[in-house]
C-alpha cells in the first residue's frame, strides 16, 4: 500500500496573499520527512533547529539513544515506558522514590513549578543514568492567559491566529516547567451531544487538518526542540469523536471509507507537521480497544501514515482493557499494550508492575521493550531535554505576565465570535443606549467564561465587567435569572465521594425569573447570557439533550415576552437547541468559551468596536433528534432540490438551523466573476479558481471565502459538498478583492473502499464559492 502520507495528504500549506492566510491542500511529503529526520537540537538553546536538521545530527541522536539504551537495566527501561502522577497511587509508590530508582520517565497532573523542578532534579542528579523527565499536562487553550476553546479558535478560520495562541501557551508552559502538552485534540465531531466537541475543530476534515497543523507548529515550533516550545501530543487515535450516541468513552464503529477520508486527515496533518507524540483513545474501535490494537498503532499510524515519535496511552487505558473485556487481567493488558506498540502507560503503572515478570517468562520480548524505549529516548534527545531539563522557570513571572500575551487572548476571542442572527440591525448597540438589563446565570461568571481545561489560575473578564467598561454611561441592571448544573459529578469527583454541583431550587428560580422580567421592563433593551457552565462540556460531559439547561428556556421566553429588544449571547462548547430563539430573539451571538478577555471581546462585538467575522465550524442542528448532523453527507436515491435532503423526516425538515461555515457580519459581501482557467484536466491536472469578493456594506469587515467541490459520479458515492479551500480576508466598504484557489489531485483524491487505494477518478466536478456551505455561485469542470 505504500506510505499513507503520500495519499492521505491534505497537509495544509499557507499561502500569504493580501496579508491574509489562505489554506490550500497539497500532497506534501516535506512535513513527513521533517518528522522522520529530525530538526533536532543537541546543543545550547541559541543553536537554531534548522542548523541541526541534518542527517548527521539525526544519526548522532540515534547513536546517543542506542548508547544509553545499552547501559539501562530492564527496570530502568520499563521506567521510561511509565508515566506516573505527581501524587502517589499507593503508599509504596512515592513519586520521588520511583524517579530516584529510574522507574519513571514522565510525570503528569502537576503544574507546580517548584515541584516540577524538585522532581526533575531528582531524575537528573540522583537517578543512576540521569535521564530527564517529561512533564505532561493538558495545555489545551492557553496556560495562564486563556484563549478561546479550540472549537472557538476554529470558528476564526484563521490558522495563523491559532498557531500564535499555541505558541504563547507553549511559552508559558515551558517557563513553568511543563514540557509536554496533551494537545491538540483533532477528533472529528459530528454529534453535538458529545461533550468533547469543545476541544476540537468541529466536523470537517479539511478545516480540522488546517487547525491541527497550526496547533502543532504553535506548540512545537518549526521543529521539535525549538527553544521556548514544548512537545505536542495529538489525540485521540483514532475516531474517538464517533462515539455511539455522542456518549463519551463509548464504542465507535467506523467503516474504512470514513476512517481514511474523514477521521484520519487531521492526524496526518499533525504527523506532516512533525508532531512528536500521539495519544491513543479510551474507546474500542470496531470492537478492539484503541490502546491494544496493533493494526491501528503499528500498521496504520507508523507504517502507513509515517509517524516517527512515541505513543502514549490515554489515562489508565492500558489497565482499562480489562474493563473492556479484552484482556484477561492486568498482566495481559500490559502485554497487549506492548504488542500494540504503545510506548508509554499513562497513570496506571500497569507496565511498571507487570512487564518485568512478563519478560522473565517470555511473554514480552526484550527486543519489543528496547524498540519502545528507544523511541521515547529519541524524542527526549530531539527536544534537547538532556541539555535543558528545567525549561525557562527563572523567567516564569515575566513570561506569564507579558502584556502581549493577554492582548493576544483578546484578539483571538474577538475573531472567534459568530453572529448568528441580527434582525432589524439591533446590533451593534448604540453608544447612547440608556439602560440594559443584563440577565443570565453566566452573565457575571468570570470562571465559566474561560471554559474547561484551564491551567494556571487567571482572573478573567465577565460579560458584566466587559459591558460596564464598554458602556460607562449606560445603566446596567444585572439579574442572575436562574441556574443550570450538570446532573452527575465528574467521574473522578464521584470516586472521591463528591456530588454534582447543587442546583438552585425551583422557588428561588421563580424569584430570579421575576426579577429578570422586572429588570427587562425597566430597561431599554436586554442582553441575556445563556449556555453551559464550563463543567457541562468537555471530557465526561456528554449530554442526552442539547436543550438549554435548568430554567434557561423559560427565562428566555419570559424576557422576550416583555416586548423589549433582546440580544442572546451564548457561552457554550457545542451547538445547543436555540430553534425557538432563532424565531423570536432579534440578535444571537455565539461567543463559545472565549477565555480570559471574553467579557471585553463580547462587549466589543456587541457595541461595534469589532465587526464579527467568525464562521461556524459545525453544522447547527434544530434539535437533538437531528444529531449527528454534518454538511458533507451523501445523496440518496431521491432527487434533491438543494444540497440538503428534501427531507427524510415526516415531521420536520432535514436542513440544519444554521449551515456549516455560516456567520453574519455588520456589513454585507457579494460574490461575482467566478472563473476556472480550464474546463477539462487530466487526473494529475490543476484547475485555478478565482472569484471577486466585494464589501457591499458600510463597515470594514472580515469574510471567510470558502470553496466547495462535488464529484458527480464514480466508483463510489462522494459527499454532496466538501470544503477544499478557504481564506479569511478583510475588506473596506466598497473594496473588491480577487481570491484564488487551486483544485488538483490533493483536493480530488479520496480513499476508495472497493480498490483500497487513493483515487482521482474521471468525472464531472461541481465548484461552489461563497460565504458558507450553501454557497450558490457555481461552475464545473471535468477530469478525463
What is the set of active-site residues? Answer: 314
Q: What angle do CA 544, 547, 551 make, to 5 degrees?
A: 120
Grid cell 476541544 — which residue? 199
DSSP summary character for residue 548: P
Peptide bond into 499 cis (omega under 30): no
CA count, 13 A, side-chain hemisphere, 780: 8
* Nearest residue to 173 via CA among 111, 124, 106: 111
**How far is residue 584 CA from its own chain's centroid?**
32
- CB-based contact 343:298 (threshold 8 Å): no
Give start and end residues of each alpha helix (H) in 107-149.
113-121
d(CA 311, CA 543): 30
Q: What's the Rg (C-alpha) of the chain?
A: 26
- CB-based contact 704:771 (threshold 8 Å): yes
* Grid cell listed for 520: 427587562
- CB-based contact 192:574 (threshold 8 Å): yes
- CB-based contact 501:486 (threshold 8 Å): yes
Other CB atoms within 10 Å distance of the CB of residue 46: 7
* Nearest residue to 529 via CA among 426, 606, 458, 474: 606
d(CA 541, CA 543): 6
**How far apart, in Å, are the Cα atoms of 210 and each of 13, 107, 367?**
8, 30, 38
**How far apart, in Å, are the Cα atoms of 4 and each of 304, 396, 744?**
4, 41, 18
- CB-based contact 436:468 (threshold 8 Å): no
Other CB atoms within 10 Å distance of the CB of residue 770: 22
* Grid cell listed for 537: 462540556
DSSP summary character for residue 756: T
**How far is residue 101 CA from its own chain's centroid?**
37
d(CA 312, CA 432): 56
* Nearest residue to 116 via CA among 102, 128, 134, 131: 134
Sheet of 525-531: strand order equals 418-422, 587-590, 566-571, 525-531, 435-439, 475-479
DSSP summary character for residue 375: H
Backbone angles phi, psi at 98, to 5 degrees: -60, -45
* Nearest residue to 484 via CA among 504, 512, 510: 504
* Nearest residue to 36 via CA among 13, 15, 62, 14: 62
Backbone angles phi, psi at 193, to 5 degrees: -70, -25
* 3-state SS class at 748: helix
* Grid cell listed for 632: 458533507
* Nearest residue to 280 via CA among 266, 260, 301, 265: 301
Peptide bond into 139 cis (omega under 30): no
Length of the chain: 784
Residue 225, judged by CB atoms within 10 A of its CB (0-12, 13-18, 19+), counts as buried
d(CA 175, CA 170): 8
Amino acid at each position: 500500500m505504500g506510505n499513507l502520507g503520500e495519499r492521505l495528504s491534505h497537509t495544509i500549506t499557507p499561502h500569504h496573499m493580501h496579508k491574509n492566510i489562505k489554506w490550500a491542500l497539497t500532497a506534501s511529503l516535506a512535513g513527513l520527512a521533517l518528522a522522520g529526520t529530525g530538526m533536532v537540537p543537541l546543543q545550547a538553546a541559541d543553536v537554531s533547529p534548522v542548523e541541526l536538521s541534518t542527517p548527521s545530527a539525526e544519526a548522532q541522536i540515534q547513536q546517543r539513544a542506542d548508547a544509553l539504551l545499552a547501559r539501562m537495566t530492564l527496570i530502568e527501561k520499563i521506567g521510561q515506558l511509565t508515566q506516573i502522577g505527581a501524587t502517589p497511587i499507593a503508599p509504596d509508590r512515592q513519586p520521588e522514590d520511583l524517579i530516584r530508582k529510574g522507574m519513571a520517565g514522565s510525570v503528569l497532573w502537576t503544574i507546580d513549578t517548584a515541584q516540577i523542578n524538585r522532581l526533575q532534579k531528582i531524575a537528573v542528579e540522583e537517578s543512576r543514568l540521569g535521564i530527564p523527565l517529561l512533564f505532561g499536562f493538558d495545555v489545551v487553550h492557553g496556560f495562564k492567559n486563556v484563549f478561546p476553546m479550540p472549537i472557538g479558535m476554529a470558528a476564526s478560520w484563521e490558522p495563523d491566529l491559532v498557531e500564535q495562541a499555541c505558541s504563547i501557551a507553549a511559552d508559558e508552559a515551558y517557563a513553568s516547567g511543563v514540557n509536554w502538552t496533551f494537545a491538540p485534540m483533532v477528533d472529528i465531531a459530528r454529534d453535538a451531544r458529545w461533550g468533547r466537541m469543545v476541544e476540537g475543530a468541529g466536523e470537517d476534515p479539511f478545516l480540522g487538518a488546517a487547525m491541527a497543523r497550526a496547533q502543532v507548529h504553535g506548540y512545537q515550533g518549526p521543529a521539535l526542540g525549538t527553544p521556548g516550545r514544548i512537545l505536542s501530543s495529538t489525540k485521540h487515535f483514532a475516531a474517538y469523536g464517533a462515539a455511539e450516541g455522542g456518549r463519551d468513552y463509548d464504542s465507535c464503529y467506523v467503516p474504512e471509507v470514513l476512517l481514511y477520508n474523514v477521521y484520519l486527515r487531521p492526524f496526518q496533518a499533525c504527523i506532516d507537521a512533525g508532531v512528536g507524540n500521539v495519544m491513543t483513545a479510551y474507546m474500542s474501535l470496531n470492537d478492539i480497544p484503541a490502546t491494544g490494537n496493533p493494526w491501528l498503532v503499528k500498521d496504520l499510524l507508523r507504517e502507513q501514515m509515517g509517524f516517527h515519535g512515541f505513543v502514549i496511552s490515554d489515562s489508565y487505558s492500558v489497565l482499562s482493557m480489562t474493563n473492556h473485556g479484552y484482556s484477561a487481567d492486568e498482566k495481559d493488558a500490559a502485554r497487549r499494550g506492548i504488542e500494540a506498540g504503545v510506548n508509554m502507560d499513562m497513570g496506571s503503572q500497569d507496565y511498571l508492575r507487570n512487564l518485568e515478570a512478563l519478560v522473565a517468562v517470555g511473554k514480552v520480548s526484550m527486543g519489543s521493550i528496547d524498540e519502545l524505549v528507544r523511541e521515547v529516548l529519541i524524542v527526549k534527545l530531539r527536544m534537547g531535554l538532556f541539555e535543558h531539563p528545567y525549561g525557562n522557570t527563572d523567567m516564569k513571572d515575566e513570561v506569564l505576565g507579558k502584556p502581549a500575551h493577554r492582548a493576544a487572548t483578546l484578539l483571538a476571542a474577538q475573531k472567534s465570535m459568530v453572529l448568528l442572527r441580527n434582525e432589524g440591525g439591533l446590533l451593534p448597540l448604540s453608544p447612547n443606549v440608556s439602560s440594559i438589563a443584563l440577565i443570565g446565570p453566566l452573565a457575571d461568571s468570570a470562571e465559566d467564561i474561560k471554559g474547561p481545561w484551564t491551567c494556571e489560575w487567571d482572573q478573567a473578564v465577565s460579560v458584566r465587567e466587559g459591558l460596564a467598561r464598554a458602556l460607562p454611561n449606560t445603566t446596567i441592571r444585572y439579574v442572575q435569572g436562574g441556574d443550570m448544573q450538570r446532573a452527575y459529578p465528574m467521574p473522578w469527583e464521584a470516586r472521591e465521594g463528591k456530588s454534582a454541583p447543587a442546583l438552585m431550587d425551583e422557588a428561588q428560580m421563580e424569584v430570579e425569573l421575576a426579577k429578570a422580567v422586572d429588570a427587562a421592563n425597566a430597561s431599554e433593551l436586554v442582553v441575556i447570557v445563556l449556555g453551559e457552565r464550563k463543567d457541562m462540556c468537555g471530557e465526561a460531559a456528554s449530554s442526552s439533550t442539547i436543550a438549554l439547561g435548568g430554567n434557561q428556556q423559560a427565562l428566555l421566553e419570559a424576557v422576550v415576552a416583555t416586548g423589549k429588544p433582546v440580544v442572546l449571547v451564548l457561552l457554550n462548547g457545542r451547538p445547543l437547541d436555540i430553534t425557538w430563539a432563532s424565531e423570536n430573539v432579534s440578535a444571537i451571538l455565539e461567543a463559545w468559551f472565549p477565555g480570559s478577555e471574553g467579557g471585553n471581546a463580547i462587549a466589543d462585538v456587541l457595541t461595534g468596536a469589532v465587526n464579527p467575522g467568525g464562521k461556524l465550524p459545525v453544522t447547527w442542528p434544530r434539535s437533538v433528534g437531528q444529531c449527528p448532523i454534518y454538511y458533507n453527507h451523501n445523496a440518496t436515491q431521491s432527487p434533491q432540490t438543494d444540497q440538503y435532503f428534501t427531507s427524510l423526516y415526516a415531521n420536520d425538515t432535514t436542513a440544519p438551523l444554521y449551515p456549516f461555515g455560516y456567520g453574519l457580519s455588520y456589513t454585507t459581501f457579494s460574490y461575482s466573476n467566478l472563473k476556472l482557467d480550464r474546463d477539462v484536466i487530466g487526473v494529475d491536472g490543476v484547475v485555478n479558481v478565482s472569484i471577486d469578493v466585494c464589501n457591499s456594506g458600510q463597515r470594514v469587515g472580515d469574510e471567510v471565502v470558502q470553496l466547495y467541490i462535488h464529484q458527480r459520479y464514480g466508483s463510489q458515492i462522494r459527499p454532496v459538498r466538501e470544503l477544499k479551500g478557504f481564506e479569511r480576508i478583510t475588506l473596506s466598504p466598497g473594496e473588491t478583492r480577487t481570491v484564488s484557489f487551486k483544485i488538483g489531485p490533493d483536493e480530488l483524491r479520496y480513499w476508495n473502499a472497493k480498490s483500497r487505494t487513493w483515487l482521482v477518478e474521471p468525472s464531472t466536478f461541481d465548484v461552489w464559492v461563497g460565504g458558507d456551505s450553501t454557497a450558490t455561485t457555481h461552475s464545473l469542470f471535468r477530469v478525463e
